[in-house]
């Protein structure tokens, strides 16, 4: 029984986590070996930032005073994180991967298939926990001078912690698929479901935010005490959480708790695999019956009959490339709406800036460039970084279509800019409302669009340089994006920081006024555009020819 | 042995039957070709046979094991070459084959033996350690064929196996079919290449809009059609008459 499941798990890991792909690439082209140290450096940088966040948090929570409670918060946070972030992943892994049919012809029981797929999700979650949570736990151990035993238990916790939340989200997914009436509306429902995770996280963030703000209103530090009690409230509803929290205690108690928690998690998983299997089987069948019907009945409408300009056609194609994949839509939406809404709401609940105090020029500058960075982060990232890769296996179409590459690139750029401009508009309007300085807001809009345009070009070049045209699922593409995204983030922070610094110098030593300084930046950016615009098209034209679709 | 007992399948509720009351038996030591126009329901039938989709009604047996009641045992008897060789995962050919060997429980000794033998026979030694993603269509097809043979299945089911194969590989596949028939195994395949069907098959089944319109040896088909000039009639003429 185990062997088949293990084989499937192995294939999932090799295939979906790109292990075979990476080893093959590593073996073949030596020239890209620098990517490994580069990734490591970025990772170290990221970890360093994360450790910084934990340090701040521990200080705020005054770790030494109640170590047990802080540990509980860490564990509870990880459990909630795994639950929320795994729902969408699980859904895709169980029902939407394109190997579904292939696997169902194999002599594997549905428990085995379910087990292997769960294990795939589990592994992904462990990796995330190691990146996000492990630094926190290690720092915790170091600050409290814990012994070796603690670290062993933490290592064990990394492995066993995802079990329980995964089982819960697993049940959730199995039941949802069973009760949702697929059939005709499959695509629409898929679209809705892919919004689930963003929605969940959003609700989570909002409620945490609201909780802190509410608590904050009644006294500056009471919300911390309240926060420290949250894990116990959870545990009072669900006893096994006590065991998980208890792993942080000292001596034998910790080991006993770990043992209890691990066996509990294991039992949950086994029960899930046994009882969930028939449910999974039936869900799959129902799903498979309705699957593909879209392929046969999709209405093409009458578009394309009217003649349009090539550019508009290409623009429309870009639109469909993004909108027809629910995952991409969700990503873009989260970026566009989630972040600013969150900031706006915290701002409003925090009471906003004291209005009668005049804002210093320097502060204006910081707000301005901070907002510009925000624009970049919202409009940039995923959506403009992958304009070519998004085409995936159908990239060959771009090369076959009788449309000049220049027009295609221009369409890609324009589409990215439409998203970017929307982001800029949103940010400047929110900014205007919050600090009621509409002149500053319009500067934000102008400078945001100008820098955004530069970044869009950069994004296209970045993607042209090494596109991924062989992804099997959009999630895979998104995962691969990590490095690019990180670069993008660092670059925009760097740019913002530098400009703020230079503005400060101009202000202090050049004795220039706000308008003069911003005028300089505007002119500089416009000038840059004249230069890059031509360059990008020329380079893109050349690269287009050499990319193998 | 393969047995379809009055099998029907409908994809959409209220839609038309993709397969309609199929009744067919394929015995060990026999090659049966499955013909029919596009959309006749060949692939649907084969998917039901391999347990990928369940039939609405009817019974399917593979080597005396019911695909509906004991699917795992039945599936273990089958070697299946799908119609779309798009292998789904980003793994190398070797990893893919080992996966199949694992799932079908092929012992390590046998596995090595057969792997070497088949890789040589299909001329795949050079690319076996590359990613399947990078294979040509024919290479993908060949990998699927090898994967389906590793466990020496009692029943070999192929959905349009000749598509994309070069003449050499096509010949090897045809030889393999004959070899398996001569060793008492069952071979069932769908194809649009009538010459192949005519020369290779012991019996031919023709499907039309989900219904079996003819089944038998070439001889029987000629007699049954009642039209033609008896012996001279090719399968092509027969096929066109029957599926008009
Ligand atoms: N997933 C599906 N959803 C809805 N209808 C389907 C689905 N798959 C096949 N059909 C329909 O079932 C019928 C039979 O299709 P099938 O693929 O079995 O034909 P086929 O004989 O294999 O054709 P071909 O020679 O083109 O391979 C067709 O009418 C097709 O439209
Ligand atoms: Mg077919």
Contacts of A108 in chain B (CB under 8 A): 72, 103
Assigned domain for A299 exists: no
Q: How far apart are CA A348 and CA A115, in angstroms?
A: 46
Task: For residues B162 and B145, state if they share a domain.
Answer: no
For residue A421, give Cα distances in angstroms to A7, A428, A448, A487.
48, 10, 8, 21
Count of CB atoms within 10 A of residue A19's CB? Answer: 15
Question: Encoding tokens for residue A235?
Answer: 């545990």
Contacts of B99 in chain A (CB under 8 A): 7-8, 10-11
Question: CA A410 from chain center: how many Å?
Answer: 27
Task: For residues A540 and A424, state if they share a domain.
Answer: yes
We report the CATH number of the domain holding residue B220 as 3.40.50.300
Q: Do B177 and B31 form a contact (C-beta atoms < 8 A)? A: yes
Task: For residues A150 and A286, state if they share a domain.
Answer: yes
Q: How far apart are CA B37 and CA A522, in angstroms?
A: 66
Assigned domain for A315 exists: yes
Test mutation, A27, A104, A287, chain B, max B CBs within 10 A: A104
Last residue in a domain, options B99, B129, B152: B152
- B130 contacts chain A (CB < 8 A): yes
**B30-35 vs B203-208, strand pairing mode:** parallel
Q: Do A204 and A342 form a contact (C-beta atoms < 8 A)? A: no
Task: For residues B89 and B132, state if they share a domain.
Answer: yes
- A480 contacts chain B (CB < 8 A): no
Q: How far apart are CA A453 and CA A375, in angstroms?
A: 11
| Cβ–Cβ gap B72/A6 under 8 Å | no
Residues 66-125 on B with a CB inside 8 Å of A are 71-73, 75-76, 80, 82, 87-92, 95-96, 98-99, 102-105
Domain that holds residue A495: 306-549
- Cβ of residue B18 lying under 6 Å from some atom of ligand 1: yes
Task: For residues A265 and A380, state if they share a domain.
Answer: no
Task: For residues B161 and B72, state if they share a domain.
Answer: yes
Q: Do A549 and A408 form a contact (C-beta atoms < 8 A)? A: no
In total, how many domains does chain A have?
Answer: 2
Q: How far apart are CA A167 and CA A300, in angstroms?
A: 41
Task: For residues B21 and B142, state if they share a domain.
Answer: no
Domain that holds residue B112: 85-152
* Closest residue to atom 12 of ligand 1, CA basis: B18
Task: Per-residue pLDDT tens, chain A, 549 aa: give them.
Answer: 678 899 999 988 888 777 887 787 777 765 566 767 877 887 888 888 788 888 888 887 787 788 888 899 899 989 988 988 888 788 878 887 778 888 888 999 999 999 999 999 999 899 989 988 999 999 999 998 888 999 999 999 999 999 999 999 999 989 888 887 666 666 666 666 666 666 766 676 666 666 655 655 555 456 677 777 888 888 888 888 999 998 888 888 999 999 999 999 999 999 999 999 999 988 888 766 654 434 433 344 444 444 567 888 888 888 888 877 777 777 777 777 766 666 666 665 555 444 445 567 777 777 788 888 877 777 766 556 678 888 887 787 777 777 888 888 888 889 888 888 888 888 888 888 777 778 888 888 898 898 888 888 888 888 888 787 877 777 777 666 566 677 777 888 888 888 888 888 888 888 888 888 888 888 998 888 888 888 888 888 888 878 765
What's the pLDDT score for residue A32?
Answer: 62
Assigned domain for A110 exists: yes
Give yes or no for residue B66 having a pLDDT over 50: yes
ipTM value > 0.90: no
Q: Coil, strand or helix: which one is A218?
A: coil
Nearest residue to B63 (alpha-carbon basis) of B6, B4, B2 = B2
Task: For residues B185 and B233, state if they share a domain.
Answer: yes
What's the pLDDT score for residue A295?
Answer: 40
What's the pLDDT score for residue A237?
Answer: 86
Mean pLDDT of B48-56: 91
Contacts of B50 in chain A (CB under 8 A): 105
Task: For residues A329 and A191, state if they share a domain.
Answer: no
Task: For residues A278 and A329, state if they share a domain.
Answer: no
Q: How far apart are CA A458 and CA A56, in angstroms?
A: 34
- Minimal CA separation from B178 to chain A, in Å: 24
Assigned domain for A15 exists: yes
- Cβ of residue B40 lying under 6 Å from some atom of ligand 1: yes
Q: Coil, strand or helix: which one is B149?
A: helix
- Cβ of residue B191 lying under 6 Å from some atom of ligand 1: no
Question: Encoding tokens for residue A107?
Answer: 């002599």
In total, how many domains does chain B have?
Answer: 2
- Out of B12, B50, B131, the one facing A105 most closely (by C-beta) is B50
Assigned domain for A77 exists: yes
Question: Encoding tokens for residue A337?
Answer: 């709406």
Task: For residues B202 and B178, state if they share a domain.
Answer: yes
Closest-CA residue in chain A for B129? A24
- Cβ of residue B11 lying under 6 Å from some atom of ligand 1: yes
Task: For residues A243 and A341, state if they share a domain.
Answer: no
Task: For residues A130 and A257, state if they share a domain.
Answer: yes
Test mutation, A9, A26, A96, A106, chain B, max B CBs within 10 A: A106
Q: How far apart are CA A461 and CA B5, in angstroms?
A: 60
Task: For residues A479 and A388, state if they share a domain.
Answer: yes
Contacts of B85 in chain A (CB under 8 A): none
Question: CA B156 from chain center: how many Å?
Answer: 6
* Closest residue to atom 11 of ligand 1, CA basis: B18
- Cβ of residue B36 lying under 6 Å from some atom of ligand 1: yes
> pTM value?
0.74
Task: For residues B57 and B115, state if they share a domain.
Answer: no
Count of CB pairs separated by less than 8 Å, A with B: 91
Contacts of A289 in chain B (CB under 8 A): 11-12, 53
What's the pLDDT score for residue A283?
Answer: 85
Residues 214-243 on A with a CB inside 8 Å of B are none
What is the DSSP track for A73-118?
A: HHHHHHHHHHHHHHHHHHHIIIIISTTHHHHHTSS--HHHHHHHHH
* Closest residue to atom 31 of ligand 1, CA basis: B39
Task: For residues A329 and A448, state if they share a domain.
Answer: yes
Test mutation, A289, A394, A479, chain B, max B CBs within 10 A: A289
Task: For residues B236 and B175, state if they share a domain.
Answer: yes
Residue A103 CA to ligand 1 centre (angstroms): 20
Task: For residues B101 and B207, state if they share a domain.
Answer: no
- Minimal CA separation from B93 to chain A, in Å: 10
Task: For residues B50 and B91, state if they share a domain.
Answer: no
Closest-CA residue in chain A for B44? A289
Last residue in a domain, options B133, B152, B171: B152
């Amino acid at each position: 029984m185990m062997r088949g499941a293990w084989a499937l798990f192995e294939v999932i890991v090799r295939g979906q986590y790109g292990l075979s792909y990476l080893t093959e690439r590593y073996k073949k082209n030596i020239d890209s070996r620098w990517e490994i140290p580069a990734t490591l450096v970025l990772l170290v940088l990221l970890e360093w930032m994360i450790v910084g966040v934990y340090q701040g948090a521990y200080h705020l929570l005054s770790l030494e005073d109640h170590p047990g409670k802080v540990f509980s918060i860490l564990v509870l946070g990880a459990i909630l994180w795994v639950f929320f972030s795994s729902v969408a992943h699980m859904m895709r892994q169980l029902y939407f991967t394109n190997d579904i049919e292939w696997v169902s012809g194999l002599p594997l029981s549905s428990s085995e298939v379910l087990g292997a797929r769960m294990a795939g999700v589990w592994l992904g979650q462990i990796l995330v926990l190691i990146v996000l949570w492990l630094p926190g736990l290690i720092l915790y151990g170091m600050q409290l001078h814990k012994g070796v035993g603690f670290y062993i238990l933490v290592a064990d916790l990394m492995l066993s912690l995802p079990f329980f939340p995964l089982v819960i989200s697993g049940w959730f997914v199995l039941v949802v698929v069973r009760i949702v009436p697929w059939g005709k509306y499959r695509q629409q429902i898929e679209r809705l479901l892919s919004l689930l995770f963003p929605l969940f996280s959003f609700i989570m963030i909002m409620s945490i935010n609201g909780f802190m703000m509410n608590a904050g209103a009644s006294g500056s530090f009471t919300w911390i005490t309240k926060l420290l009690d949250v894990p116990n409230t959870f545990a009072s509803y669900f006893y096994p959480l006590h065991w998980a929290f208890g792993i942080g205690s000292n001596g034998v108690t910790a080991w006993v708790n770990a043992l209890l928690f691990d066996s509990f998690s294991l039992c949950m998983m086994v029960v899930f695999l046994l009882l969930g299997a028939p449910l999974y089987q039936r869900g799959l069948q129902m799903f498979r019956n309705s699957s593909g019907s879209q392929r046969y009945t999709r209405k093409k409408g009458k578009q394309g009959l009217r003649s349009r300009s090539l550019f508009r056609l290409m623009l429309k194609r870009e639109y469909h490339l993004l909108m027809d994949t629910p995952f991409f839509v969700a990503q873009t939406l989260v970026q566009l709406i989630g972040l600013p809404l969150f900031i706006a709401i915290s701002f409003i609940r925090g009471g906003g800036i004291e209005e009668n105090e005049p804002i210093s020029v320097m502060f204006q500058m910081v707000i301005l460039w901070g907002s510009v960075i925000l624009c970049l982060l919202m409009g940039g990232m995923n959506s403009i970084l992958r304009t070519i890769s998004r085409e995936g296996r159908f990239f060959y179409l771009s090369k076959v279509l009788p449309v000049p590459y220049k027009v295609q690139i221009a369409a890609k750029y324009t589409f990215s800019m439409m998203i970017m401009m929307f982001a800029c508009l949103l940010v400047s309007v929110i900014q205007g409302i919050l600090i009621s300085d509409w002149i500053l807001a319009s500067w934000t809009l102008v400078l945001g669009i100008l820098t955004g345009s530069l970044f869009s070009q950069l994004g296209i070049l970045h993607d042209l340089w090494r596109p991924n045209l062989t992804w099997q699922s959009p999630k895979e593409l998104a995962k691969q994006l990590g490095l690019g995204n990180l670069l993008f983030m660092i670059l925009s922070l760097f740019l913002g920081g530098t400009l703020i610094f230079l503005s400060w110098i101009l202000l202090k030593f050049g004795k220039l006024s706000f308008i003069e300084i911003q005028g300089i930046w505007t002119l500089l950016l416009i000038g840059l555009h004249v230069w890059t615009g031509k360059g990008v098209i020329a380079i893109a034209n050349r690269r287009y020819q050499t990319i193998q679709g | 042995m393969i047995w379809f007992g009055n099998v029907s399948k409908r994809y959409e509720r209220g839609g038309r039957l993709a397969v309609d009351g199929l009744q067919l038996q394929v015995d060990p030591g026999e090659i049966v070709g499955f013909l029919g126009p596009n959309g006749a329901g060949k692939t649907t039938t084969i998917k039901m046979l391999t347990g990928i989709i369940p039939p609405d009604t009817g019974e399917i047996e593979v080597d005396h094991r019911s695909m509906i009641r004991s699917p795992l045992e039945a599936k273990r008897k089958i070697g299946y070459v799908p119609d779309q060789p798009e292998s789904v995962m980003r793994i190398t050919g070797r990893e893919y084959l080992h996966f199949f060997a694992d799932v079908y429980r092929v012992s390590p000794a046998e596995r090595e033996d057969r792997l070497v033998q088949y890789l040589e026979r299909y001329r795949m030694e050079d690319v076996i350690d590359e990613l399947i993603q990078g294979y040509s269509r024919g290479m993908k097809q060949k990998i699927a064929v090898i994967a389906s043979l590793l466990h020496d299945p009692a029943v070999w089911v192929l959905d349009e196996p000749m598509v994309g194969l070069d003449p050499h590989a096509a010949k090897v596949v045809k030889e393999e079919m004959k070899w398996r028939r001569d060793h008492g195994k069952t071979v069932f395949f769908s194809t649009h290449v009538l010459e192949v069907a005519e020369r290779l098959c012991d019996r031919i089944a023709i499907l039309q809009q989900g219904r079996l319109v003819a089944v038998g040896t070439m001889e029987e088909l000629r007699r049954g059609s009642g039209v033609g000039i008896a012996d001279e009639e090719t399968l092509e003429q027969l096929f066109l008459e029957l599926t008009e």
